[in-house]
Amino acid sequence: MLPKKRIITIDVSIGSYQDFLIKIIKLAKKRKSNYICVANVHMTIEAYNDKNFQEVVNNAIITTPDGMPLIMALRLIYRIKQERIPGPDLMPVLLKELEKNNLSAFFYGSTINILNEMKKRLQREYPGLTVAGMFSPPFRELTNDEKNNIIEIINNTKANVVFVSLGCPKQEKWMAEMKGKINAVMIGVGAAFPIFTGMQKRAPKWMQKLCLEWLYRLLQDPKRLWRRYFYTNTKFVFLLSKEIEKKREQANNAI
């Protein structure tokens, strides 16, 4: 598998964009139960605050570096120049690879309306892709019978990849719970579904490069996000500063 480097408390996979694609397609072909996390600042802080969630993230077979702050952290701590692998960009590229390799995709999460819009775009732009199925779960805790029913539905489709859009940390916890039950590689892609349909806009490229994608999202939904971004961003900067200082001290002691 891809090597990993620790950022604060999560282990992030390292490699080129092509390395990630090759590994994911290999996993998809095997249909072995596994899951992939797409990590950003929010996930990093959730994992720092919750040891159980930290274990969920670190048990993922691959954890892609999504947010630019994680890319900068890899450069500052390890001097690694890493490509960003964000969920909304990764999903369309993976769909093309699945289409090319005659592999199928299942889409789990989001709303029925968004899934219907996704179906239209998939039929239009990925005509050779086998869409194994789509499922919009209720926005509440599922019963054991409902969970077993979902497992049966997905496994009966023989999907190679299950794209999961429930938001962090819900989607990662769901994938961890389904490991060993769903016979496919699961990928938590966050807001990739609504972005794919155009129902949610992404920040311009220049804002993404300057680590300002969070600001763009904040301006779209300030009431819901301002507390979260203020807390997570501030804490991430503080913890990263401590991590860098620790590495410097280790380097000085070695000298």
- Report pLDDT digits (tens) over 15-39: 999 999 999 999 999 999 999 999 9
Q: What percent of the chain has pLDDT over 70?
A: 89
Query: Which positions ≥6 away from 147 have C-beta within 8 Å?
Result: 177
The answer, yes or no, to whether residue 144 has pLDDT greater than 60, is yes
Give Cα 179 to chain centroid, integer Å.
Answer: 16
Residue 4, beta-bridge partner list:
13
The answer, yes or no, to whether residue 220 has pLDDT greater than 80, is no
Neighbouring CB atoms inside 10 A of 80's CB total 15
The answer, yes or no, to whether residue 90 has pLDDT greater than 70, is yes
Q: What percent of the chain has pLDDT over 90?
A: 74
Residue 92 one-letter amino acid:
P
The answer, yes or no, to whether residue 172 has pLDDT greater than 90, is yes
Contact 32, 173 (CB under 8 A): no
The answer, yes or no, to whether residue 156 has pLDDT greater than 90, is yes
Q: What are phi and psi of 246, to 5 degrees?
A: -60, -45
Structure tokens at 135: 């499922």
Contact 188, 168 (CB under 8 A): yes
Q: Which one, of 21, 7, 168, lies nearest residue 85 by Cα?
A: 21
